[in-house]
Copies of this chain bind each other. A is one copy, B any other.
Amino acid sequence: MPVFEIEKYFDRLWPICRSITGNGLRDSLNVIQELIPLQLREVPTGTKVFDWTIPKEWNIKDAYIIMPDGNKICDFKVNNLHVVNYSIPVNKELEYDELTKHLHYIDSMPEAIPYVTSYYKENWGFCISYKEFKKLPKTGIYKVVIESSLQAGSLTYGEYILKGETDEEVLFSTYLCHPSMANNELSGPLVQAFLYQKIASLTKRKYTYRFLFAPETIGVVAYLYENGMHLKQKLKAGYVLTCCGDDANFIYKQSKHVNSIADEIAKHVLKHQDVPYEIIPFSVGGSDERQYCSPGFNLPVGSLTRSMYQKYKEYHTSLDNKNFISFEAMKKTIETYFLFVKALELNNYYKAEIEYCEPQLGKRGLYPSSVNPDVSRKLIHDRMHLLSFADGKLSLIEIAELKNIPVFDLEQHVLLLQEEGLLKRDV
């Protein structure tokens, strides 16, 4: 997975005006389908999903303001953030005072166009940088045009299930409803699509992997309406992929149950990487984990992010763009999530075949040797540690943590000792 591949897909997805419904969302899913064979589903407008109802489908062709001097500003075709997402169609002339009731800007960030939505309350509006806003003449007639439509249609999401040896599942969930922004949110879908490719390349998988690309909140509510009870039965661990594309330190947000295996895996992997990171508790200020962890489901779903929603000033503005992110960092995010997968796959319960006293490794030629005596010492110590603690009650990660080593260090010993008949998986 070369970095330029990620960038190529980023560049293709960037200009599309996405929303929680509509053709921008569908077009984006079609691009993602080149990387992962998603099945697309359509949920019709008006469908009740728990406490929510699928809204009308929104599509947009153009939007702009004509200034009194005839110049065009807030041009949707220049930046799709200029129009309030889900704006109703409008075409009228008005004066400065009325216009400004529909303008959004951030006076503390004069260069930034804010990102504003109005999904559930019919309204229209434009987003403008404060710098441009200040220049607007207070007299004269403005013309506003929004060529949008809001009508019965459907909400689209894409899903792919990669089968494993068992029907226990691992979920990766991301959203694709934001228009042109980079960390939040093209990083999530891109990381998830390329992560899929790495997982698909594994020759053996214990778990079945589920990949969901849906609009935030309403999309996941709709998804859980259909799949929530199944996940409650089968989900071993899950992660929401969002805000994971810049080079800030990793932040892992835990699921509601702090001892979930999803969290244990994440903490273990991050602890043994040589980069700083932070672990934070579940909270409702977040993304789709709010739905997955709602009281009725309470699924073991956490989230590994970098610069997190609401915590960086470029969040939900036009400044969250290609300059803000790093494709190298995105690659590292993919690799870290892939280590989660590898740790999950490795994390079984094992039992020493020779339970009473130590096995005699010497007679089997199982004393590892290396030209470097420190390496030999670690190898033999890890091997004996595994045999000593493999009692069927401790998971492999728990055994690794007792020695403060990554579970990956034990992998070669698990394989060899199973071959030699000294260790067995306990199921």
Question: Interface residues, chain A, CB within 8 Å of chain B?
Answer: 49-52, 120-121, 217, 220-221, 224-225, 228, 256, 281, 283-285, 290-291, 293-298, 351-352, 354-360, 362-363, 381, 384-385, 387-391, 402-403
Contacts and interface: CB of A to CB of B under 8 A. Distances in A.
A360 B224 CA distance: 15
Contacts of A402: 281
A318 B359 CA distance: 30
Contact of A357 (B50, B385, B390): B50
B51 A354 contact: yes
* Most chain B beta-carbon neighbours within 10 Å: one of A224, A294, A381: A294
A294 B224 contact: no
A355 B296 contact: yes
A359 B51 CA distance: 5
B356 A293 contact: no
Copies of this protein in the complex = 3
Given A121-B362, A283-B403, A388 B357 contact: no
B296 A362 contact: no
A296 B392 CA distance: 11
B284 A357 contact: no
A295 B224 contact: no
Contact of A363 (B120, B221, B228, B290): B120
A18 to B, nearest CB: 21
A388 B50 contact: no
A351 B295 contact: yes
A391 to B, nearest CB: 4
A374 to B, nearest CB: 13
Given A120-B362, A284-B385, A388-B295, A224 B357 contact: yes
Nearest to A393: B295
Contacts of A362: 120-121
A356 B224 contact: yes
A354 B385 contact: no
A295 B352 CA distance: 7
A152 B281 CA distance: 65
Contacts of A293: 388
Contacts of A387: 284
Given A284-B385, A285-B381, A294 B120 contact: no
Given A256-B388, A284-B385, A295-B389, 15 more contacts: A51-B358, A52-B357, A52-B360, A120-B363, A220-B357, A221-B358, A225-B357, A284-B388, A290-B384, A290-B388, A291-B358, A293-B388, A294-B352, A294-B357, A295-B388
Contacts of A385: 283-284
A70 B260 CA distance: 74
Contact of A51 (B225, B357, B403): B357
Contacts of A228: 356-357
A86 to B, nearest CB: 13
A390 B295 contact: yes
Contacts of A284: 381, 384-385, 387-388
Contact of A358 (B290, B356, B403): B290
Contacts of A295: 351-352, 355, 388-391
A356 B389 contact: no
A301 to B, nearest CB: 13
A403 B281 CA distance: 9
Contacts of A297: 356-357
Contacts of A358: 51, 217, 221, 290-291, 294
